[in-house]
Chain A
């Protein structure tokens, strides 16, 4: 079975450029999560969706970040304009239902983003 698929795996770009990260959740999962991981701040939840609807975006750092989930099989995280401090590994995860306490989250392999 295909797991959570993220693209690109690596992205290097110059500051000021727009960055778009993509995620395909596991088929049948109706909760999707975007995380950012850095050495300094650890694993932080940015936003999560239930049934394609954003439920909690309180972790989105600022207006430069936006996320969409136009359908059940696709989500994007966009940074515009990008800054060097956005450099991190961005993970997408999905689960059957966020409200079901014991549903594990399945993580993609992540996108390693470097902003020069």
Chain B
């Protein structure tokens, strides 16, 4: 099976940088995705890493280390609107090729 661990809550101030970590244990691995979900809303795709290294998309970056079974989402220049839950999700290279989501990290951005 698969398991993912990420912190349940993170608090940061506007303009700061925050890193949300995700460690995973899977029987196979294709890649690590990140999704954002605002309260009452739907998850929306942020990024995907299949290879080691950093992927940058605007203020958000995502990193993967396959050897360490570890990844993180980096949010820079935090804004109040970034307050949301962030989920890491893995896709494994078995017959079950859908995503398995972590339990989510609730990010609270304070003024």
B103 near A42 with CB under 8 A, answer yes
B98 near A98 with CB under 8 A, answer yes
Closest to B48 in A: A102
User: Does A18 have its Cβ within 8 Å of any Cβ on chain B?
Assistant: no
User: Does A61 have its Cβ within 8 Å of any Cβ on chain B?
Assistant: no
Query: Nearest Cβ distance between residue A23 and chain B, in whole angstroms?
Result: 12
Query: Nearest Cβ distance between residue B104 and chain A, in whole angstroms?
Result: 6
B98 near A48 with CB under 8 A, answer yes
Interface range for B? 20 to 34
B33 near A104 with CB under 8 A, answer yes
Given A107-B42, A109-B42, A110-B42, CB of A33 within 8 Å of CB of B98: yes
A101 near B48 with CB under 8 A, answer yes
Q: Is the interface of B mostly helix, strand, loop or mixed?
A: loop
Binds A, one of B13-21, B59-67, B89-97: B89-97
Q: Identify which of B31, B95, B104 contacts A101 (C-beta below 8 A).
A: B31
Residues in chain B near residue A19, CB distance under 8 A: none
Total A-B residue pairs with C-beta atoms closer than 8 Å? Answer: 50
Query: Nearest Cβ distance between residue B94 and chain A, in whole angstroms?
Result: 10
A102 near B31 with CB under 8 A, answer yes
Q: Is the interface of A mostly helix, strand, loop or mixed?
A: strand
Residues in chain B near residue A33, CB distance under 8 A: 98-99
Interface string of B45-86 (1 = CB under 8 A from A): 100101000000000000000000000000000000000000
Interface string of A85-111 (1 = CB under 8 A from B): 000000101000011011011111110
Residues in chain B near residue A108, CB distance under 8 A: 42
Residues in chain A near residue B97, CB distance under 8 A: 55, 98-99
Using a CB–CB cutoff of 8 Å, the interface residues on chain B facing chain A are 30-31, 33, 41-45, 48, 50, 87, 91, 95-104
Enumerate 9 A-B pairs (CB-CB under 8 Å) in ascending A order. A33-B98, A42-B101, A42-B103, A45-B100, A93-B43, A98-B98, A101-B31, A101-B91, A105-B45
Using a CB–CB cutoff of 8 Å, the interface residues on chain A facing chain B are 33, 42-45, 48, 55-56, 58, 91, 93, 98-99, 101-102, 104-110
